[in-house]
């Protein structure tokens, strides 16, 4: 049933805290529509169902960083859609709207952090020498960008919802847009880095370690690589949608169209979750190789220790060879003509 959003408006009230659909109109609520109960409950349950599997897979394969990013992102998605279910019953409620606005907006930040970690492991597995930027640098740059995006979106959402006037509300929206725009740029840059590395792998010499070759040649690893790219693409689509949505403002057409939101936000994130679960990195790398490809162990201090060890081994080998050579030195008494009293000794080395 369609409800006229401007029917029964009561703009004489200073607050909508005590509004109902009988005393106020939808134009005084957060949206010009009543959130669909079935659709939002579906997404809340859908995302909740993936939390336990990711915890189990993360513990089994020891993909700790990936697990944390995925679980936090899923929990935020669940909270966001549960809040929308509450808004179905009371579209004027302030706290559920604030929770929805912040949770659904920042949830993909944690998902992209998990995606970034996967690429750094892929670089180590296929050959760090082929990457224009080292895995450690990529992780630091993109995760720092994610953190800044998270802060901007959270602060902007709180400012927009708690504003006392339209000007302050617009300021909060602008801050959120800045955070979402930064997130979209980061994901686009990540996709560029991914494709560049893929191209260099096709043209260059991969790491020929037998264990790494065995992992790369499996079909599941190849599918995982493209699933990771697809997950990044759909999250990028979602981020672009959110930028345009908030750019139009709370009075804009996209903000007040639930179908667009469910398709370009909910469905896009659902596809990303399916990709990152069905093609979990633990399936592709295995428990041992995921740990072996951890760039965090490749520190300068570690390199210095390794070089010192190699130097010590070299010195030991030199000393052994010196002693080995001396065993082949022998002294002998040569033949001397008669009449000579001088005893001569010669040393020869074979």
What sign results for the dihedral spanned by CA atoms 183, 189, 193, 199? positive
The pLDDT tens digits for 106-120 are 999 999 999 999 999
Instruction: Using pLDDT thresholds of 50, 70 and 90, give the confidence band for residue 314.
Output: very low
On the question of pLDDT at 278 being above 90, the answer is: yes
Report field, pTM of the whole predicted structure over 0.85: no
Instruction: Using pLDDT thresholds of 50, 70 and 90, give the confidence band for residue 318.
Output: very low
Token representation of residue 59:
């513990």
pLDDT score recorded for residue 158:
84
On the question of pLDDT at 129 being above 60, the answer is: yes
Q: Are 188 and 236 in contact (CB under 8 A)?
A: yes
- Which position has the token pair 């700790």? 64
CATH of domain 31-298: 1.20.1070
Q: Are 249 and 170 in contact (CB under 8 A)?
A: yes
Nearest to 212, CA basis, from 122, 125, 111: 125
pLDDT score recorded for residue 296:
56
On the question of pLDDT at 83 being above 60, the answer is: yes
Per DSSP, the three-state class of 256 is coil
- Which position has the token pair 């169209």? 257
Element containing residue 346 per DSSP (H, E): strand 346-349
How many percent of the chain have pLDDT more than 70?
83
The pLDDT tens digits for 216-253 are 889 999 999 999 999 999 999 999 999 999 999 888 99
Backbone angles phi, psi at 294, to 5 degrees: -75, 115
What sign results for the dihedral spanned by CA atoms 322, 323, 328, 330? positive
């Amino acid at each position: 049933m369609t409800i006229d959003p401007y029917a029964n408006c009561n703009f004489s009230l200073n607050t909508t805290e005590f509004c109902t659909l009988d005393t106020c109109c939808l134009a005084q609520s957060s949206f010009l529509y009543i959130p669909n109960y079935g659709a939002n409950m579906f997404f809340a349950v859908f995302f909740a169902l993936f939390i336990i599997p990711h915890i189990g897979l993360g513990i089994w394969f020891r993909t700790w960083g990936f697990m944390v990013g995925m679980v936090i992102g899923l929990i935020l998605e669940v909270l966001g859609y549960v809040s929308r279910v509450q808004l179905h019953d009371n579209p004027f409620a302030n706290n559920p709207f604030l929770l929805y606005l912040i949770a659904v907006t920042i949830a993909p930040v944690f998902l992209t952090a998990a995606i970034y970690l996967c690429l750094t492991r892929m670089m180590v597995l296929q050959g760090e020498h082929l990457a224009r930027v080292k895995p450690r640098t990529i992780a630091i740059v993109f995760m720092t960008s994610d953190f800044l995006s998270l802060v901007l979106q959270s602060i902007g959402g709180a400012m927009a919802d708690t504003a006392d006037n339209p000007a302050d509300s617009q300021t909060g929206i602008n801050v959120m847009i800045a955070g979402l725009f930064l997130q979209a740029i980061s994901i686009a840059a990540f996709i560029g880095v991914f494709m560049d590395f893929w191209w260099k792998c096709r043209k260059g010499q991969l790491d020929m370690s037998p264990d790494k070759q065995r992992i790369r040649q499996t079909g599941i690893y190849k599918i995982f690589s493209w699933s990771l790219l697809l997950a990044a693409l759909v999250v990028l689509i979602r981020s672009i949608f959110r930028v345009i949505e908030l750019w139009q403002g709370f009075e804009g057409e996209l903000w007040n169209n639930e179908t667009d939101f469910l398709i370009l936000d909910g469905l896009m994130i659902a596809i990303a979750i399916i990709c990152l679960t069905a093609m979990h990195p633990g399936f592709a790398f295995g428990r041992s190789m995921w740990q072996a490809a951890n760039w965090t162990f490749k520190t300068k201090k570690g390199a210095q220790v390794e070089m010192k060890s190699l130097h010590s081994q070299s010195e030991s080998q030199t000393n052994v060879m010196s002693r080995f050579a001396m065993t082949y030195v022998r002294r002998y008494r040569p033949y001397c003509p008669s009449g000579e009293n001088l005893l001569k000794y010669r040393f020869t080395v074979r």
